[in-house]
Structure 1
Amino acid sequence: MNPLLNRLQPYPFERLRQLFSEVVPPGHLPAISLGMGEPRHATPAFVTQALVAGLGGLSSYPATAGEPRLREAFTGWLARRYGLQLNPATQVLPVNGSREALFAFAQTVVDASRASPVVVCPNPFYQIYEGAALLAGATPWYAPSDPARNFAVDWDSVPDEVWQRTQLLYVCSPGNPTGAVMPLAEWEKLFALSDRHGFVIASDECYSEIYFRDTPPLGGLEAAARLGRTDFRNLMAFTSLSKRSNVPGLRSGFVAGDAALVKSFLLYRTYHGGAMSPPVQAASIAAWGDEAHVIENRALYRAKFAAVTPLLAPVLDVALPDAGFYLWARIPDALGLSDEAFARALLAQYNVTVLPGSYLAREAQGANPGAQRIRMALVAETAECVEAAQRIVQFIQSLPLQKTS
């Protein structure tokens, strides 16, 4: 067996299952889960219809590069969303969901024969980054987010000797779980570091279409273009239909950026068997070509967060994020509960599931930045999310406060 498999840590939801293994929730309260970030709004009917209409394509092998119409759908969306002009033949590539691609990309980019390769990622983070780094033969380095700066990642905390060994940097904007969006100045800093040390930047942007401000989140390719980096050198953006169009089961997304990286990734995926099926391609073309359903979806999240956040704010340190569909809340110290104990007791007493923040981070530089926090995914209908918030308020108000010296 590959010995690198032994370096992988249990996935957060496996840890959650173990945490809850002996919990018996109250039977009189219906279960409400805010634990998993799985979109639950309805899939648009036209996407389903396009999927069914494309079933005739099952009789042929699909090309790994995808149909020309699909790649043109990608570049058309990039032009409308970000004002970018990319070559559909050389600068975009379909992938079977951003998760699969984010993992596979590290296997393409990392050269394990070089001394002590490093993959830098934010902390807290999406655990795929860590697993991809480990199985590529690299060492992850965790850059902490700073609550005092709207959870911006403290890239300055990464030592220069780490940057010198870095081959790949994962960024996530809007961030999971914090919802923070990277500003242009932060992108400029990372591009300068990439130029100096030669590492590749993988920009995870799967939450880009769920936002709460008037201005859409800045994308990595958009930032590069604004800074005159129109060749997108050493930059690849990853996006997905899962959150944008409520089709997590479709497993459809694309990557875009540096043509040289796209070429190498296509070579890897040709051997890896990463081709997208014809029906999924047909459904994806339909989804990327329509914006009305995305606007409706965003409005649902905005209404939901507007209803839930004020309910929780009096009892938790929580605020409306820049984007995404998570609330990243700090548990009051006066409750005397760890994030694990809080999640376990909440399920046991009120049948609401939340994810302990420490499961989404690693202890690094002397601290786990997810400790004493919980992630709440507001993916259910508004009424269910409001009910969950009300139960959380009742739960916290029922707890005795700890005496402080």
Structure 2
Amino acid sequence: MNLPERFSNLPEYAFPRLRALLDVHTPGGDVVHMTIGEPKHDFPQWVTDVIVKNAAGFNSYPANDGDDALRGAIAGWIARRNGVTLDPDRQVMALNGTREGLYNAAMALCPEGKNGQKPAILTPNPFYQVYMVAAISVGADPIFVPATAATGHLPDYASVGAEMLNRTAIVYVCSPANPQGAVASRDYWANLISLAEQYDFRIFADECYSEIYRDTPPPGALQVAQEMGADPERVTIFHSLSKRSNLPGLRSGFVAGGPESIAQIKLLRSYAGAPLPAPLQAAAAAVWADEDHVAENRALYREKYAIADEVFASVQGYMPPEAGFFLWLPVEDGQAAALRLWKETGVRVLPGAYLAQGSPGNNPGEGYIRVAMVAPKDDTQGGLIKLRDCLYR
């Protein structure tokens, strides 16, 4: 059976490509995994107690959109973090991880046409691959906008011009950025929101890394939109406990925004969603309500920022990440560098080109490797030193 034509030319996902590149070769040392952004710090131990206490909930179908306690805890966190008051019944929906939300929000909210033309969905380049597939799935044109050193590693969406902006239905922004660790400032958000108001498109703000930063909390898109008095439907935000609380396996995230937008996303989810089991919702509610473990987690990443800054201090072009837990390291050829590193040291990293679109010589990721600093401090330090000594000396 043939796939729908729109899916027939999808590029292979990054990690199968990486396995094909590396796994036919013997590693040159003890394997050090620095590819996937799967946090390895301890999660709060009391999470298990909450799940056990609420285990009877496995005997019932869970609330599809998140129960009252979970949505209330999420709304409370948004109020504390961003100073934005949302109605937990109408403006918040729990997600089974944010990948689901980032994809389904496009399914629910992208129009079939814009100003009589095929809609466009703009994404950064490099980017989280779900953005592209969401655009293709709704029959929109995915437009890849460079997020390079020249643009502060964030996409300059105004640069696409009025003709494209008139077709634009949705833009994705990841701040802090995956993979570069750049943070959208208040001015960046304000300028983008003004552009969205002018050309009537939606902003999907992927803020999953917002609680891992050096010194200053990254500003939230919803916060800036409220300060500007923007249309409440203009900005939709996505968050997760995966990075904030080291709970990628809990699959707890949320989407929040204008009541009309959330109503449409809820409608789709009532048919296509996969709700979080009730005991896990109880655990997620407790985790969103607690900040102590988040501060402890952030302190561990700050130690690894310091290690990376020291290890790569003499590397030309090294860019200390503002936030998140990835390094975006400059190399001559990311694929060749990843292969060499694997064969000589056993350190496993991701070629930057696998996270971007573009032909050879025109792919903004091809001169980089992405390195995840998710392992414990000593393991991270050892891997970074091996990487430096292999590729930069």
TM-score computed with the length of structure 2 as normaliser = 0.95
Which residues of 2 match residues 133-172 of structure 1 at below 5 A? 133-172=135-174
Structure 1 portions without partners, runs of 5+: 332-336, 399-405
CA distance in 1, matches of 2:362, 2:6: 25
Cα displacement (A) at 1:9 = 1.6
| Inter-partner Cα distance in structure 1 for 2:121 and 2:285 | 33
Distance 2:212 2:272 in 1: 31
Where 2:323 maps in the other structure, the secondary structure is: coil
Structure 2 partner of 1:394: 389
Q: Tell me, which stretches of 5 or more residues in structure 2 are unaligned?
A: none
1:271 and 1:387 mapped to 2: Cα distance? 48
Runs of 4+ in 1 over 4 A off after TM superposition: none
Match of 1:348 in 2: 343
Q: Distance in 1 between matches of 2:65 and 2:205?
A: 20
The answer as to 2:200 corresponding to 1:205 is: no
Change (3 A) 1:69 1:350: same
Decide which of 385, 391, 404 is 2:380's aligned counterpart: 385
State the percentage of identical aligned residues: 42
Contact 1:313 1:319 in 2 (8 A): no
The residue type paired with residue 142 of structure 1 is F
Structure 1 residue 396: deviation in Å? 2.5
1:14 is aligned to 2:16: yes
Cα distance between partner residues in 2 of 1:66 and 1:206: 19
Which position in structure 2 is the counterpart of 1:124? 126
User: Are 1:315 and 1:396, in contact at CA under 8 Å, matched by a contact in 2?
Assistant: no
Partner residue, 1:46: 46
Alignment of 1:170-189 (within 5 A): 170-189=172-191
CA distance in 2, matches of 1:382, 1:209: 18
Alignment of 1:323-342 (within 5 A): 323-331=323-331, 337-342=332-337
Q: Does the residue aligned with 1:218 lie in a helix, a strand or coil?
A: coil
Q: How many Å separate the matches in 2 of 1:3 and 1:149? A: 34
1:228 corresponds to: 229
Displacement of 1:397 in angstroms is 5.0
**What secondary structure, in the 3-state scheme, does the structure 1 residue paired with 2:166 have?**
helix
> Alpha-carbon deviation of 1:113?
5.3
Letter in 1 for 2:260: A
Deviation at 1:157, TM superposition (A): 2.1
1:37 alignment partner in structure 2:
37
User: Which has the larger displacement, 76-85 or 154-163?
Assistant: 154-163
Confirm or deny: 8 A CA contact 1:7 1:134 kept in the other structure: no
Contact 1:233 1:258 in 2 (8 A): yes
Q: Distance in 1 between matches of 2:104 and 2:360?
A: 28
Deviation of the 1:309 alpha carbon: 2.4
Shift in Å, 1:62: 1.7
Question: What is the aligned residue count?
Answer: 389
User: What TM-score does the superposition give when structure 1 sets the normalisation length?
Assistant: 0.92
Residue 103 of structure 1 is matched in structure 2 by: 103
In structure 2, what residue type is equivalent to 1:8? L
For 2:13 and 2:48, the matched residues in 1 are separated by: 31
Task: Output the aligned Cα RMSD.
Answer: 1.7
CA shift at 1:316, angstroms? 5.1
Instruction: Output one character per residue of 1:278-323: Cα deviation in whole Å (capped at 9) or x when no partner.
Output: 0110110110010000000000000012012221232352232111
Distance 2:123 2:74 in 1: 26
Q: Which residue of 2 aligns with 1:25?
A: 27
Separation (CA, whole Å) in 2 of partners of 1:307 and 1:271: 47
